[in-house]
Homo-oligomer: A and B are copies of this chain.
């Protein structure tokens, strides 16, 4: 698999490409399957339909990797926090974590309840061509913790950071418990057939650098070390969003570092990892901007193995034609 070879540092003639949110609303086929499933969470829980939307972008657009269709919040859900997706509001947990008793109540064996994810991975791996990689994933402990404490997305993360600064030990207990579940969760994804695991730290940017290292990267690093020791052939990708100011401080047993669009690749190139990214997703609105953006990235990484991706998820109103054009630009000289 060109994708996995590249994760391990082997430069090939053509750069492998996939896109975050490649199974998403910009594809009519996704919207049709989603309509069959009903709501978003039902689609995550139906392993056949989840597998169907996972395969669509590879079948339609010939990406080099599929990423299993799911959501990072199925983990807190199965740890015991009821989850709903309110129209226009995003995910909402009506019960939140505020104290040590709440943490104690969380189910440490939650990974055993996520068979719908493992079944989707198994089915997808069976159907996927052997030269295409299947990526499993999870949210980073810090990012999951913010949802569990705030109850929903947040502009300030004030509740989470209040806990972090007022009760750092409580925060560490929560993060350790989530990390424990994630080890088993990722391991089960690997056993089901995932060839790589991506750890999404979407709210990395909420923390000051010293707090990030202590309360987030430490746990990503622990998770990566656990997986790498047991499964050295599986590629581990970390995607801490918005840490451009201190990206050089991030040390862990990962293979690939995902780079968001606000971090210059020049800066990320100072890290020891294979990089993944970082085309500004809004460049997909314009073919000229796609062409220019791809050529800048190609020039910057010409001497190194690199995985082409966007710097964040694709937006729902991007024309499929522009995605085809992007792939063409990446694959052609």
A interface list, Cβ under 8 A from B = 156-158, 161-162, 164-166, 205, 207-211, 242-247, 261-264, 267, 280, 282-283, 285-286, 288-289, 296, 311, 315, 317
Contact = CB atoms under 8 A, between A and B. Distances in A.
B315 A158 contact: yes
A261 B166 contact: no
Given A205-B242, A244-B246, A245-B264, 14 more contacts: A156-B282, A157-B282, A158-B317, A162-B285, A164-B282, A165-B283, A207-B262, A208-B261, A208-B262, A208-B280, A208-B311, A245-B245, A245-B263, A246-B267
A161 B282 contact: yes
A165 B285 contact: yes
Contacts of A243: 262
Nearest to A288: B165
Query: Taking each of A157, A205, A296, which has the highest tally of chain B beta carbons within 10 Å of its own beta carbon?
Result: A205
A156 B262 CA distance: 13
A193 to B, nearest CB: 33
A145 to B, nearest CB: 14
What are the 3 closest A-B residue pairs judged by CB atoms, nearest first? A244-B245, A161-B282, A165-B289
